[in-house]
Amino acid sequence: MATIKKLLLFLTLFTSFVNPTTSEPCSSYKFPNNPNYATCNDLPVLDSSLHWNYNPKTSMIDVAFMKNNVKESSWIAWAINPNAKGMLGSQALIGYRKSDGSFKAYTSSITSYATMLQESNISFPVYNVSGMYADGSMTIFASLQLPQNVSMVNHVWQEGSVSNDGTFRAHALTGSNVQSFGTLDFKSGTVSQKIDGKLKARTRLKNVHAILNAVSWGTLMPIGVILARYLKAFEGLGSTWFHLHRVCQSIALLIGTIGFGTGLYMGSHPGVHNNPHRCVGMTLMTLALVQVCVAFCLRPKKDHKYRKFWNIFHLIVGWTTIVLAVWNVFKGLQILGGDLIWRNIYGCVIGSWVIIVISLEVGTGIISWKKKRKRTIHELSA
């Protein structure tokens, strides 16, 4: 009997560690100061719930938006979009925990994808906006005055992080963060979520863009540089290093050009755009094309007096491209947000390359030193 009790205790503790963020149904939650809400709904994504009282005679709604399992350094938002689905044009309630521990809640009208969620009036009356942070959950309270005979609305909810200086960071652009919208009927209590084909296509295109550029700019090009740098030390390979370098960089440029094209396509359509990522991408494409033109059209012969200047230029442009490419891959993965596993995996790949490069640098340095020493001894003996 004692063994069974110990086993049950172990399973209970194990379950609490394995699944510590399981939230209770919204109907079981009791708010402080005893505000009672007749209706609630557990929203389909982002571990959130919406609680409300609706008065059909006055179209007045008392609402509480709750986000569970949220970090202290986060912002949350719930909004009604009077004219369309999604973020643009939504009339939002924003809440976050300030550095002094107090909670601020306010309204913001979202007129641009580049919004910083600045405080502003919204298109319908709102009263008694407040909020709180407690036990890992954030809640925004408000009373809304909707137009007469309007009970069904488009709504959207979201979360993001707050930087140390208080700046709101953009929310993730993958997974649940691009699925957190739908329709809501305050009268019937029905909440629906329908992911349309355009959203799925945009998400798929972002993933394709990320894969193409991570493989080309972020993987194949550094490999091509490593091949050119270190295979030269092995005289028995002859010009093999050159052919491998050229093939690797050509494939990388081809795939990278396709990835660049997907970026241009997404940049020409409405959505969240990141200027640093886009500018670095254009710089990379320019450097790559310059490198190709200089390599194929302006390369002097080995014994030409300008060959050393060409080598310096080729080296500087090549390494600049690699550094910017790696930075931009990390930036792109950060923009996509979602799980950190992909950034961690790519970080491990870069870390392993650094170790390999250091090892090869030492190894080829030793080989070069031995060659020079052997040549010196041979000259002295002659």
Q: What is the per-residue DSSP string for 201-254? A: HHHHHHHHHHHHHHHIIIIIHHHHHHHHHHGGG-GGGTTHHHHHHHHHHHHHHH
Specify the pLDDT at position 382.
59
pLDDT for the residue numbered 133: 93
Contact 134, 103 (CB under 8 A): no
pLDDT digits (tens, 9 = 90+) for 146-185: 888 788 888 999 999 898 888 888 887 777 787 788 888 8
Is the pLDDT assigned to residue 13 strictly greater than 80? no
Domain limits, the chain = 28-195, 201-381
Residues in the chain: 382
Query: Residues within the annotated binding site for heme b?
Result: 209, 245, 277, 314
Check: CB of residue 260 under 8 Å from CB of residue 279: no
For 336-361, b where at least 16 C-beta lie within 10 A, e where not — what string? bbeeeebbeebeebeeebeeeeeeee
pLDDT above 70 covers a percentage of the chain that reads 87
pLDDT score at 19:
40
88 vs 194 pLDDT, higher one:
88
Measured at the CA of 129, the angle between CA 40 and CA 165, to 5 degrees, comes to 110
- Supply the pLDDT for residue 22: 45
Contacts of 26 (CB under 8 A, 6+ apart): 40, 41, 42, 49, 50, 51, 66
Q: What integer pLDDT is reported at residue 199 of this predicted model?
A: 55
| Domain 28-195: CATH superfamily, name plus number | Cellobiose dehydrogenase, cytochrome domain (2.60.40.1210)
Q: In this structure, which long-range contacts are made by residues 91-95, counting pairs with CB atoms below 8 Å and at least 24 apart in sequence?
A: 91/122, 91/123, 91/124, 92/117, 92/122, 93/65, 93/126, 93/129, 93/140, 93/142, 94/119, 94/140, 95/131, 95/138, 95/139, 95/140
Asked if domains 28-195 and 201-381 share a fold, the reply is no
CA distance 144 to 238: 76
Residue 110 CB coordination number (10 Å)? 22
d(CA 133, CA 68): 10
How many CB atoms are closer than 10 A to CB 221? 25
Least trusted range by pLDDT, from 101-105, 121-125, 190-194, 357-361? 190-194
pLDDT computed for residue 158 by the predictor: 92
Both tokens of 25, joined, read 């149904």
Q: Which residues contact 67 (CB under 8 A, 6 or more apart)?
A: 46, 47, 48, 74, 76, 137, 138, 139, 157, 159
C-alpha span between 141 and 153 (Å, rounded): 18
d(CA 144, CA 109): 14
DSSP codes joined into one string, 290-309: HHHHHHHHSPPPTTSTTHHH
Among 134-143, 194-203, 282-291, 324-333, whose mean pLDDT is lowest?
Answer: 194-203
Q: Residue 93 pLDDT > 60, yes or no?
A: yes
Condensed to tens digits (0 to 9), the pLDDT of residues 45-79 reads 889 999 999 988 888 999 999 999 988 889 999 99
Which of the 8 DSSP states describes residue 162?
A: B
Average pLDDT score over the chain: 82
Distance between alpha carbon 14 and the CA centroid of its chain, in Å?
32
Q: Which residues are annotated as a binding site?
A: 209, 245, 277, 314
CA distance to 68, 94, 139, 324, per residue, from 159 (Å)? 11, 10, 12, 30
The interaxial angle of helices 275-297 and 307-336, nearest 10 deg, is 150
| CATH of region 201-381 | 1.20.120.1770
pLDDT at 237 over 60: yes
Structure tokens at 353: 């390359």
More confident residue, 80 or 342: 80
Residue 219 pLDDT exceeds 60: yes
CB 66 within 8 A of CB 29: yes
pLDDT in tens, 349-369: 888 888 988 888 888 778 778
Name the pTM for this structure.
0.56
